[in-house]
Structure 1
Amino acid sequence: MGDKVHDVDVDMSHFKGKFKRYVVNWVGKGVESVVGELHVGEEVLGIDFDEYDSGVGSGDDEVIRKLKIRNLKVEHNSTTLQDLLQQKVQISISKTAVYRAKEKAQKKIRGNFHEQYSLLRDYIMELKQKNPNTTVKLAFSYRSVNPASTTRVFQRIYVCLGSLNQGFKELGREIIGLDGAFMKGPYLGQLLTAVSMDGNNWIYPVAYALVESECRNSWEWLLQCLGDDLELPHNVNFTFIYDRQKGILQAVNSLFPSAEHRFCLKHIHENLKTRFRGCGFRDHFWFAATRTTVVEFKRAMDEIRQQDTIVYEWLRAIPVTIWSRAHFSGRTKCDILLNNICESFNSKFVKGREIPIISCLEFVREYIMRMIVVVQGVIDVCTGPLTPTATQILKVNKEAAEKKWELTDIPCKHAVAAMNNMHKYEFDVGIPEDWVHTAYTLETWNQVYSNKIEPIVGATY
């Protein structure tokens, strides 16, 4: 017979919540062991069985129906560094010494949190030397333990790699997502990111910063740096999408009053559920948001009003230009409703947010460098005038699609049908691919990712 696994019910009151679940591993008719699913660093539970009841099925298919646990023993079932030293080299060492050795090893691997701040200028010089046109800005404060001290204290750092700056300008899509994530370790703060979307609808990082906290002041500082790098005038018609974090709305309005705002639809929906518990308006809300014409949007909102006028009025209080596709302008060449471009990007840096500052900055830069190489590999095997995603969208639009040409600048089915009809009468209107915005061309996509990030040399941070 093969091995089988069965769940066992155990009275957990004796173990004060340490052990979550127990599984019986057995071979044939004999019970071999019981393994607990433990928290990290806890002990493994061993169980002695004095008797068990079993039921017999057909043939050799015998299964354990119930276990009567008579005696319980807690045993160590893990090999520690102390045990290894004793076994391998016959050296006894205290637990305190083991912790100190582990801490030194971790510092050697990931760097020293305190010392890396003194190496920032060397790192910045090396980064800018290897990656021309890169912008790095530092901000300091004079806050110290000693109020009379004039020593400057690190506050923020902003990085926009030259290749990302150039690549974004070649994208042709005027949209940037903004998001922040908490840092870990002894020096807390926030990792702020500005991310766009390339012609294949993949995330394209633009800039990132480490700041002391997520507030209006820090967002204004990042947006000011970003505006200088991207040469955005005060009255630019740009689009920013975000999750309504603290201060972003005020920061964008202060620096770019003519910009278009988009709120992540997921967060509006979460607020809707919290405010109106038990109301099933999810499908109606998303249906209304995804309509691409004003007439269809009004029809969807009327359905919500018929069900609940309070919910309807709550939604009407939110400007439709920030959550309804029917009211988006076509400048961005992008109709996204979610800020998952930032969330997806930030999710790659969970481990990078718990290491020292230079190691963290390198974690982000190295990820972007690898990402560009991977995308370039995809580009090299592509054929046709458009990116793979744009090719698929146009294919669907040719067959059956809604009218979204103004939002995405990819011809809808009606435009494609008109072109086909004009061809019949020998009008020279070109092929549908000629009418797709240049942001979606394979040539533009390739040009964007031709801006590579170069590796740096020097000390290991």
Structure 2
Amino acid sequence: MKLRRLFQSNPEMNLKGMREHLKNEYGIEVDNRRLWKAKGEIEGDHVQSYGKMRRYASMIIATNPGSTTIVQSELVAVETKTIEDGNEASDSIPPVMKPQFKRCFVCYEGVKAGFLTGCKPFFGLDGCHLKSPYKGILLSAVGLDANMHFYPIAYAIVEAENNERWKWFLQLLTEAIGEKAINGQPWCIMSDRQKGLIEAVSTIPNVSHRYCCFHIENNMVKDFGTSYLKNYFWAAAETTNLQKFHNIMNQIKSFNKEAYTWLSNIDPKHWTMSCFDPNVKVEHLTNNHVESFNDWIEEVRFKPPIDLLEGLRIQNSNMMYARKVTADRWQEKLTPKIQLKVTEILKKSRFAQVTRVWDYEFQVDYKNNSYTVRLDEGYCICGQWKIRGYPYVHAAACINSIRANIYDYCSNYFTTEQWRKTYEKVIHPLPDESMWPPFEDELLFPPPVRRQPGRPKKHRRRKVAGEERTLKPISSSKTCKNCKEIGHTRHTCKAPPIVEHPAPTTPVQRRGRGRGRGIGRGQSKDKATTTVAPNTNSTQGNRGRGRGRPRGRGRGGIRHATIQDMEQSENEVEEHAQETEAEELTTVELPLDLFQTQPTR
């Protein structure tokens, strides 16, 4: 009851928050197993959730017309009965066939309309593991809006990630959004180099497929094991000029011929910006926007299927409305992120030297290199403008030289108008389960519990390819107390033990530690100072009373002192005597006129 009220007010609370709440409010400490069990009882049973999937899908279509929701099942034998006659079994009854959940696909009409009208013809594909007792994989397609933020398009719950499931997912996705964008531009898809995924993407006609360069880098470093190759690889991937790409590849060939051969077997159109489709206007080389989506839904991946899908819908609805409010308030022509990038480019363009050779043709000298720019064609020989969709330093310098507005030379994909179109539609909410209409269909059985291949993990993950392993530094300053050598200790010393004979000791009285009493040089009652007149050896002034330095009176104990201690004591006595004698002979000489005319102090 205590946790139930807490979950009603905060459904996204995790196990750590539950533990802290119980400890702070009630002084109770509960382990994770009991918290997980209590959380499952509050959130609902996974078996019951799978059984209501068809009913939930029908509610999505009823509340969001035009949406695509598919729940696929298969008939399985769930029980077998036999009739026994004595000790022998007679004819057995045929097994009872029941529908079992297999996979589902969800794409809301509001999300689909926003993607088609306001986003670029680009999306990434990836899958993440679910953490429920029945496991499974969540496949997702994630695009980019005009402000370069991730935009979830569709997702599906499947039993495993392989070629068959990806084909099924992409078939339903293309049926929902079409095989091409509204402007007729073919889709551009970003993913890793998983074999089943590559085959599934190839089934879509005229599609351009990009590979995540991070995965390519990991595989390359894993096979050839040198960090210098990473710098060459990223330079080749990020360049937008084809001739420069070939020059870098030749450098890789001279550095490591095997790595060059391995990299040449991957078509450059999949991983280098110099060969990307210029109509897409996306400069991404990695699939990080899909990874961001997977992290964004981390808290709902352990929930039952209906709660999982409801959590995704609520998060997506909140995100879309928040971005709609931000886009409506934004009054600039370009979106915030693109405007920030263009502003930085304008600052860099101040250091470029521009020579105008024709109406819209220029020569730009920047960082000891020359570039050709034609503004009427949107062309720069470096290739940055063509791929990114907004002018780079060389084109920006030319635009400034003719006093034009750089915003007019940016692609429409980055305008605030397109940004607002993306979030014009809405995902309509679903009513409470108690208000759902009756649904005449059999309940679905949950999928079978699948054991993951391989040995279960007991330790933390291994380092990915190319990731350096951090080792605890070994100290080289350890000194052995036995042999006095550096690099080991006496416990691992191989030298014979060295026995040190102690020096002879003599019982002596320990010096007392206290405040001494004596007569020293100090200030007298008549305030006279000991002085010496020039060319005389007589002293004037009275001897003052003060705190002296002779040995004081104190309380000390008896201990056995070594010869070294006795020698040290004799040295201290001699030094003390010399200092006392030096103080008594110290005098101050003053000029004669000063001595005769002014009183001494």
Q: Check whether TM > 0.5.
A: yes
The question of whether the paired residues in 2 share the 8 Å contact of 1:236 and 1:258 is answered with: no
Please list every run of 5 or more consecutive structure 2 residues that lacks an aligned counterpart in the other structure.
Answer: 1-15, 17-21, 80-93, 350-381, 437-601
CA distance in 1, matches of 2:281, 2:170: 22
User: Which residue of 1 is the match for residue 118 of structure 2?
Assistant: 171
Matches within 5 A, 1:334-353: 334-353=282-301
User: Which residue of 1 is the match for residue 151 of structure 2?
Assistant: 204
Q: Which moved more, 1:349-358 or 1:440-449?
A: 349-358
Q: Does 1:378 align with 2:303?
A: no
Deviation track 1:183-217 (CA, whole Å, cap 9, x = no partner) reads 12221210000001111111011100001111111
Q: Go from structure 1 to structure 2 and tell me whether the alpha carbon gap of 1:101 and 1:372 turns closer, same or farther (over 3 Å shift).
A: closer
2:178 to 231, 245, 261: 231
Note the C-alpha offset of 1:437: 1.8
Q: Which moved more, 1:132-141 or 1:375-384?
A: 375-384
1:364 to 309, 312, 316: 312
Note the C-alpha offset of 1:80: 13
Note the C-alpha offset of 1:458: 1.1
Q: Which moved more, 1:344-353 or 1:394-403?
A: 394-403
Deviation track 1:354-410 (CA, whole Å, cap 9, x = no partner) reads 111101111111111121122223323322111011212222333447641211221
Larger Rg: 2
1:114 to 23, 47, 68: 47
Q: Which moved more, 1:209-218 or 1:446-455?
A: 446-455
Q: Which moved more, 1:392-401 or 1:288-297?
A: 392-401
Q: Go from structure 1 to structure 2 and tell me whether the alpha carbon gap of 1:179 and 1:388 turns closer, same or farther (over 3 Å shift).
A: same
Q: Which amino acid aligns with 2:108?
A: L
The DSSP-based 3-state class of the residue aligned with 2:202 is: helix
CA distance in 1, matches of 2:35, 2:313: 30
User: Which residue of 2 is the match for residue 46 of structure 1?
Assistant: none
Note the C-alpha offset of 1:84: 5.9
Q: Go from structure 1 to structure 2 and tell me whether the alpha carbon gap of 1:126 and 1:299 turns closer, same or farther (over 3 Å shift).
A: same
1:283 to 212, 216, 231: 231
CA distance in 2, matches of 1:149, 1:375: 51
User: Which residue of 2 is the match for residue 396 of structure 1?
Assistant: 344
The question of whether the paired residues in 1 share the 8 Å contact of 2:102 and 2:158 is answered with: yes
The question of whether the paired residues in 2 share the 8 Å contact of 1:144 and 1:153 is answered with: no
User: Which residue of 1 is the match for residue 385 of structure 2?
Assistant: 405
User: Which residue of 1 is the match for residue 255 of structure 2?
Assistant: 307
Note the C-alpha offset of 1:236: 7.0
The question of whether the paired residues in 2 share the 8 Å contact of 1:179 and 1:194 is answered with: yes
Note the C-alpha offset of 1:350: 2.3
Note the C-alpha offset of 1:449: 1.2
User: Which residue of 2 is the match for residue 137 of structure 1?
Assistant: 70
User: Which residue of 1 is the match for residue 405 of structure 2?
Assistant: 431
CA distance in 1, matches of 2:150, 2:119: 14
User: Which residue of 2 is the match for residue 222 of structure 1?
Assistant: 169
CA distance in 2, matches of 1:134, 1:172: 18
Q: Does 1:293 align with 2:229?
A: no
- Percent identity between matched residues is 29
The DSSP-based 3-state class of the residue aligned with 2:42 is: helix
Note the C-alpha offset of 1:81: 13
Q: Go from structure 1 to structure 2 and tell me whether the alpha carbon gap of 1:346 and 1:246 turns closer, same or farther (over 3 Å shift).
A: farther
Q: Which moved more, 1:324-333 or 1:136-145?
A: 136-145
CA distance in 2, matches of 1:207, 1:317: 33
Please list every run of 5 or more consecutive structure 1 residues that lacks an aligned counterpart in the other structure.
Answer: 1-39, 41-77, 86-94, 424-429
The DSSP-based 3-state class of the residue aligned with 1:359 is: helix
Note the C-alpha offset of 1:320: 0.6
The question of whether the paired residues in 1 share the 8 Å contact of 2:119 and 2:143 is answered with: no
The question of whether the paired residues in 2 share the 8 Å contact of 1:293 and 1:326 is answered with: yes
TM-score by length of 1: 0.73
User: Which residue of 1 is the match for residue 82 of structure 2?
Assistant: none
Q: Go from structure 1 to structure 2 and tell me whether the alpha carbon gap of 1:420 and 1:100 turns closer, same or farther (over 3 Å shift).
A: closer
2:280 to 324, 332, 336: 332
CA distance in 2, matches of 1:354, 1:294: 46
The DSSP-based 3-state class of the residue aligned with 2:285 is: coil
Q: Does 1:153 align with 2:100?
A: yes
User: Which residue of 2 is the match for residue 265 of structure 1?
Assistant: 213
Q: Which moved more, 1:375-384 or 1:179-188?
A: 375-384
Q: Go from structure 1 to structure 2 and tell me whether the alpha carbon gap of 1:445 and 1:365 turns closer, same or farther (over 3 Å shift).
A: same
The question of whether the paired residues in 2 share the 8 Å contact of 1:385 and 1:433 is answered with: yes
CA distance in 2, matches of 1:452, 1:118: 28
CA distance in 2, matches of 1:81, 1:445: 46
User: Which residue of 1 is the match for residue 581 of structure 2?
Assistant: none
RMSD: 3.1
CA distance in 2, matches of 1:246, 1:109: 41
1:455 to 417, 429, 440: 429
Note the C-alpha offset of 1:233: 5.6
Q: Does 1:247 align with 2:180?
A: no
Q: Which amino acid aligns with 1:165?
A: K
The DSSP-based 3-state class of the residue aligned with 2:153 is: strand
Q: Which amino acid aligns with 1:212?
A: E
Deviation track 1:308-360 (CA, whole Å, cap 9, x = no partner) reads 11111111111111110111011211010000111110112223121111011
The question of whether the paired residues in 2 share the 8 Å contact of 1:216 and 1:250 is answered with: yes
Deviation track 1:2-39 (CA, whole Å, cap 9, x = no partner) reads xxxxxxxxxxxxxxxxxxxxxxxxxxxxxxxxxxxxxx
1:126 to 54, 59, 80: 59
User: Which residue of 1 is the match for residue 127 of structure 2?
Assistant: 180
CA distance in 2, matches of 1:159, 1:239: 21
The question of whether the paired residues in 2 share the 8 Å contact of 1:239 and 1:332 is answered with: yes
Count of aligned positions? 366
Q: Which amino acid aligns with 2:417?
A: E
The question of whether the paired residues in 2 share the 8 Å contact of 1:211 and 1:218 is answered with: yes
User: Which residue of 2 is the match for residue 193 of structure 1?
Assistant: 140
The DSSP-based 3-state class of the residue aligned with 1:114 is: helix
Deviation track 1:421-454 (CA, whole Å, cap 9, x = no partner) reads 556xxxxxx6332232221110110111122222
The question of whether the paired residues in 1 share the 8 Å contact of 2:121 and 2:187 is answered with: yes
CA distance in 2, matches of 1:415, 1:185: 53
Deviation track 1:127-182 (CA, whole Å, cap 9, x = no partner) reads 23332321101111223445944322111110001111001101241111000011
Q: Go from structure 1 to structure 2 and tell me whether the alpha carbon gap of 1:84 and 1:260 turns closer, same or farther (over 3 Å shift).
A: closer
Q: Go from structure 1 to structure 2 and tell me whether the alpha carbon gap of 1:142 and 1:410 turns closer, same or farther (over 3 Å shift).
A: same
Matches within 5 A, 1:12-31: none
The DSSP-based 3-state class of the residue aligned with 1:354 is: coil
Q: Go from structure 1 to structure 2 and tell me whether the alpha carbon gap of 1:407 and 1:99 turns closer, same or farther (over 3 Å shift).
A: closer
The question of whether the paired residues in 1 share the 8 Å contact of 2:78 and 2:98 is answered with: no
